[in-house]
Structure 1
Amino acid sequence: MRDYFIRRFLLIFPTFVGATLVVFFITRITPGGPMEKTMQMAMMNEKGGSKNAGASLSEEQLAELSAYYGFDKPFLQAYGIWLGVWPREETPQFVPFGKGVKEAPVSLKVLLPREKWTPTNAYKVTPATLTSDGKLTTADPADLEGWKTRAEPDKKRVVLYRPAFKGVLQGYFHLSTSYNQPVLEMMLSKMPVSIFYGLISFILSYIVCVPLGVLKAIKHRTVIDNATSVLIFIGYSIPGFLLGSLLVVYLAARHGWFPTEGFTGENFASLGFFGKVWDIVHHAILPLTCYMIGSFAFLTMLMKNNLMDNLAADYVRTAIAKGASFRRAVVGHALRNSLIPIATTLGSITMIFVAGSMLIERIFQIDGIGLLTIQSIYDRDYPLVMGILTIDVLLIMLGNILSDYFVALTDPRVRFE
């Protein structure tokens, strides 16, 4: 079993690369990205406007914009920079060289030794000279450490930059192109809301569905079984986002029984402890109903069908024939074996960190991962899209491994060779 799980963990990296590589390629070819948005804003700000979106930007500005968003590199190199296996060009300077110009003054931002740091500054600015062939000189050669140049004769310029491995493998998810904030900080700020809804939905689903499935199996083809089946499948047939729209219109907007949006109310900070608890619960009732309605049918029927199969098995009939009561046969023999398929779904607990439906959070205006995801897609915020995808892929793969572990823990007959 140990070797099996080692192999599964070793497969995480190639699977992760394959998934992110496909989405990264899509972001490179999809029109309407951050560069187009910036050029459109520049066009709108240009007095009189223009039909050409890039008309108000010079070639140097377009080049700097392309480098800032990482579109000046070939596809695989850009992906390597995002992943952190290829050095990115930090603080690039694009120095143009006109006809006959051989040298140009530049400024280098040099990190001071730690003992010379001040509360407001840890850098010094050093003047330097850059030649058209990429040679950099300064009064103190030590200031040149870490700086590199790249001559681009076809564009009549030299790029001055500091190479650094700074990507996902180093824990850096880049900056959001829409909000200019670190992607990781934005995701972490939304996780408490997602964890709340994900954890509550996860717990309530198992607390309700497992006992209900047992009851339906024992009361098979009775009024209880038929009535609950009708209700379950009606709920399963209604999409969560559609139910959310109906609940918002009728129970929240028309009758005012529940809030129409948000995770908490506007006066949340002024409430006492129990008032805050009730405010969160009051806001969460409708969204939680939409989150759980789809999983109820799956988990309940999975539990019922597996328990019925085990109740019809020979070992249960043998236990009853030897004098065991029906209750003991169910609880002591059939129930444990029936929980084995349920264990395969326990790995989904890893997804509570990014739980959330984009449409449901959009309807209820819940400021969680789901709303952040749909907003990042609308804004063509590629670093944010890739950051959320990265976390999703890793959690899904870890959840699958965790499901295998729960199966092996529940069923001693399972051996992973």
Structure 2
Amino acid sequence: MKTYFIRRLLLVLPTMIGITLLVFTVTRFAPGGPMDAMLQAAAAGGDDEKSGSGNKSETLSTDDKEELEEEYGYDKNILHAYGQWLGVLPKETWITKKEFGKESVDKEMNTNKHVRLVLKGTDRVAEVKINREEGTEVSLQSFSYSDSTGGDPAADGWSIRIESPEDRTARWARREKQAAEKCPEKYAFRAVAYQTKFTGLVQGNLGRSQQYGDTVISMIIARIPIALYFGLLSTLIIYGTCIPLGVMKAITHRSWFDNLSSIMIFIGYAIPGYALGALLVVFLGAQMGWFPIFGLTSEGFDDMSVFGKLMDLAHHTVLPIICYVISGFAFLTMLMKNNLMDNLSSDYVRTAMSKGVTFRKAVIGHAFRNSFIPIATGLGGLISLFVGGSMLIERVFDIQGFGMLQFQSVMDKDIPVIMGTLTISAFLMLLGNILSDLIVAMVDPRIKFN
């Protein structure tokens, strides 16, 4: 059994790589990415300026576009960019660029063979020199600090590369998806100084939201308490109610209590949680005024007493929690009832009762444990409470939970947040499946994983 679980744990890594790589590839080619969003925002700003002052519409400059490409890895192929997001390939940072001069496009000229760079993030000035004799290829001659600080840039982690006009034209063609001959600019040779570092998922860095500028980790951590609150509360209500209810329905099969409770739970199962939420908001919230219609707390919540905070939180929780638990009642209740009825009709329960065991003891001591085994298979999934929640229910009640974060990231096409939330959700789902197998093995000693 130990070998089985070790093998399952080892499979988590390649499975995670497969999931994240697939989604990373989809977001790479899906329209409306960060480049498109920034271009649309710039175009909208230019249109507003044009309508207000009569000036010509403006768009992002070439340098701005290249900076966005380098930030999100669009200047690299998919596998290289994915490796940078994963943190197993280095990423260029503090990129500083400067051209040698427009006349340096003409390879027959011998001028402008050096340029001075103010290195980004520092107050140091570096001088870059190139070899460019007539009829020869351009190559780097030296790269050194030219101010009084002295020192070796390479020792401080700086590297340098020289971009040719052909390289820059090819990059423009890839970005604009046009032929290189249509490039409107005549580029010059350019010095690019940069540092490299490993910063990605392996290092605990999921990037920054392109919509809000906050780190993805901080945004996720801020939503986890809400996900845990509703997840734990709904789990306690569902399991604490459905298991005893399923036992009662199995014992009183075909009685008025069994029939009436079946009708009620199946009506609840047939109503989607978000649809029920909309009805509750309209009738019990807006028309009757019994409950708040949005949010999780009232204004001035921080100024309330401890008891006042608890009452206010409970008041805001009633309607959302009803929507959370309504669909789970039918499945778990009927699963418990049917399993218990099957075990009560089994030979081992009849034998126990024929030997003088009371019906109550036969139910609790014999049939219940075996009936609980199928339910135990889903207990491992409870670990996803950390990132649980329903985006539709949270949207109806305007609750800023984890589900709402996922919904907003998809609507805003916020790729770093999409990748971050997906990674954590997928990992907890895989871990939950392993825990489910472990729980089943603990509950049922007949199960052996070999």
> Shared fold (TM-score greater than 0.5)?
yes
1:24-173 alignment runs, 5 A limit: 24-46=24-46, 47-48=49-50, 56-97=59-100, 98-100=102-104, 101-108=112-119, 124-131=122-129, 133-134=139-140, 135-139=142-146, 140-145=150-155, 146-153=157-164, 154=166, 155=168, 156-173=189-206
Q: Which amino acid aligns with 1:274?
A: F
- Whether 2:231 is the aligned partner of 1:227: answer no
- State the shift of 1:54 in Å: 9.6
Q: Counterparts of 2:5 and 2:256 in 1: how far apart (Å)?
A: 46
What's the secondary structure of 2:230's corresponding residue? helix
Structure 2 CA distance for partners of 1:319 and 1:298, relative to 1, 3 Å: same
Q: Which amino acid aligns with 1:48?
A: K
Corresponding residue for 1:120?
none
Contact 1:96 1:157 in 2 (8 A): yes
What's the secondary structure of 2:353's corresponding residue? helix
Q: Counterparts of 2:269 and 2:103 in 1: how far apart (Å)?
A: 71
- State the shift of 1:379 in Å: 0.9
- State the shift of 1:414 in Å: 1.0
Cα deviation code 1:248-282 (max 9, x no counterpart) = 11111110111001011112112111110011111
What's the secondary structure of 1:350's corresponding residue? helix
Contact 2:227 2:389 in 1 (8 A): yes
Q: Counterparts of 1:211 and 1:150 in 2: how far apart (Å)?
A: 70
1:315-334 alignment runs, 5 A limit: 315-334=348-367
Displaced runs of 4+ in structure 1, greater than 6 A? Answer: none
What's the secondary structure of 1:174's corresponding residue? coil
Q: Counterparts of 1:211 and 1:217 in 2: how far apart (Å)?
A: 10
- From 229, 233, 240, give the equivalent of 1:196: 229
- Whether 2:296 is the aligned partner of 1:263: answer yes
Q: Counterparts of 1:324 and 1:405 in 2: how far apart (Å)?
A: 31
1:238-317 alignment runs, 5 A limit: 238-317=271-350
Contact 1:39 1:54 in 2 (8 A): no
Find the structure with the greater CA-based Rg: 2
- Whether 2:383 is the aligned partner of 1:350: answer yes
- State the shift of 1:203 in Å: 1.4
- State the shift of 1:368 in Å: 1.0
TM-score, length-scaled by structure 2: 0.86
Contact 1:40 1:54 in 2 (8 A): no
- State the shift of 1:222 in Å: 0.8
Q: Counterparts of 1:341 and 1:160 in 2: how far apart (Å)?
A: 61
What's the secondary structure of 1:257's corresponding residue? coil
Corresponding residue for 1:113?
none
Q: Which amino acid aligns with 1:63?
A: E
- State the shift of 1:371 in Å: 1.1
| Structure 1: runs of 5+ lacking an equivalent | 111-123
- State the shift of 1:55 in Å: 5.5
Q: Counterparts of 2:159 and 2:235 in 1: how far apart (Å)?
A: 52
Q: Counterparts of 1:157 and 1:344 in 2: how far apart (Å)?
A: 61
TM-score, length-scaled by structure 1: 0.93
- Whether 2:26 is the aligned partner of 1:18: answer no
What's the secondary structure of 1:301's corresponding residue? helix
Q: Counterparts of 2:161 and 2:369 in 1: how far apart (Å)?
A: 66
Q: Which amino acid aligns with 1:62?
A: K
- State the shift of 1:80 in Å: 0.6
Corresponding residue for 2:182?
none
User: Identity over the aligned pairs, expressed in percent?
Assistant: 48
1:178-217 alignment runs, 5 A limit: 178-217=211-250
Q: Which amino acid aligns with 1:137?
A: S
Identify the range of structure 1 (20-29 vs 95-104) with the bigger mean alpha-carbon deviation: 95-104
Q: Which amino acid aligns with 1:354?
A: V
Aligned length: 401
Contact 1:173 1:183 in 2 (8 A): yes
What RMSD in Å do the two structures reach over aligned CA positions? Answer: 1.7
Contact 2:144 2:153 in 1 (8 A): no
- State the shift of 1:42 in Å: 1.6
Contact 1:361 1:368 in 2 (8 A): yes
Structure 2 CA distance for partners of 1:356 and 1:131, relative to 1, 3 Å: farther
- State the shift of 1:43 in Å: 1.8
- Whether 2:412 is the aligned partner of 1:402: answer no
Identify the range of structure 1 (28-37 vs 58-67) with the bigger mean alpha-carbon deviation: 58-67
